[in-house]
Amino acid sequence: MVLYTSPSPKNWNGRKSEEQLYLHEKVELVPITEIANLKTVQYALLGYACDEGVRRNQGRTGAINGPDAIKKMLGKMPNHLPKDHKFLDVGNVACVETDLEHTQQQLAKNITALLDQQIFPIALGGGHDIAYAHYKGIKGYLKDKKPKAKLGIINFDAHFDLRNPENGPTSGTPFFQIAKEEKEFNYLCIGIRKDANDKQLFETARELDVVYIERQVMRLNYLEELKTWLKAFIEKVDCIYLTIDLDGFSSAFAPGVSAASPMGFEPQLVLELLTSILDSGKLLSMDIAELNPDYDIDNQTAKLAASLVHFVIHEQPV
């Protein structure tokens, strides 16, 4: 069983103004079932309130509350969007009991529906099993609209998430699942740590021709080299699905995640690389995964996630 919850005004509060100076005043709360009635919408937030995949992957649970935590921080931030740009909260898909698979199916349908309406989806997790669901939604859209488009996946993450789902899908299996369904698997993983991936995962990455950048070169003094590698990947695909796992950041910036570590990368470098992705004009859809409010400190990780969303919606060419 899957539960859908309509967007809640409780998630959108902040300073008051008469000119929509803040995003809680700009956002429109629209149930996902009503988006077909709308015209010219730029962005929509869709929550994935599910951490069953994290539990199956032996991680610490709590990410089920991630979507609402991000929305609460985002609403307090300033609004610099043009007046004619629409910004929606279309609610959450939630996992009931342990029904991960049907939750993924529902999210996929909703992602397809948003893309069909030419709305840029920003999905908020929840465990990184959101990635397989999001991918299926994108493929549902491309199948009918752009069947020959070559999809590239860019993942900011400490982990490959290439585990074999022989015992069922988890937050550690999404990209292995995708690889088995793609004729040409174009996957760039940025921020990989050797202390977070066993040798079998590295072997799997090599077998699948995964392009990856290890954490030790994720430094601003290597920025031009990083942009060159990123550009080379972007040039060989037609459209991009971007996914950001918050556990890739150092716990100094993101303590509230399912698998925290002090050895991650810094936000400023990610923003620099996001600029290159946005400037390509190929970004089709994105999500942010693994926010775990149970372990957050002063909403620091939720604010980081919200700032990433804020950056994308204000810097992306529309």
Q: Which residues contact 301 (CB under 8 A, 6 or more apart)?
A: 246, 253, 254, 255, 256, 257, 291, 292, 293
Residue stretches of the annotated binding site for Mn(2+): 128, 157, 159, 161, 245, 247
Mean pLDDT computed over every residue of the chain: 96
User: Is residue 5 exposed (0-12), middle (13-18) or buried (19+ Cβ within 10 Å)?
Assistant: middle
Q: Which residue has the tokens 């956002």?
A: 27
Residue stretches of the annotated binding site: 128, 157, 159, 161, 245, 247
Domain that residue 11 falls in = 2-315
Distance CA 213, CA 217 (A): 7
For the chain, the domain total comes to 1
pTM of the model: 0.97
Enumerate the β-bridge partners of residue 46.
123
165-196, pLDDT tens digit by residue? 998 999 999 999 999 999 999 999 999 999 99
246: domain CATH number? 3.40.800.10
Distance CA 284, CA 286 (A): 7
235-289, pLDDT tens digit by residue? 999 999 999 999 999 999 999 999 999 999 999 999 999 999 999 999 999 999 9
Asked if pLDDT for residue 62 goes beyond 90, the answer is yes
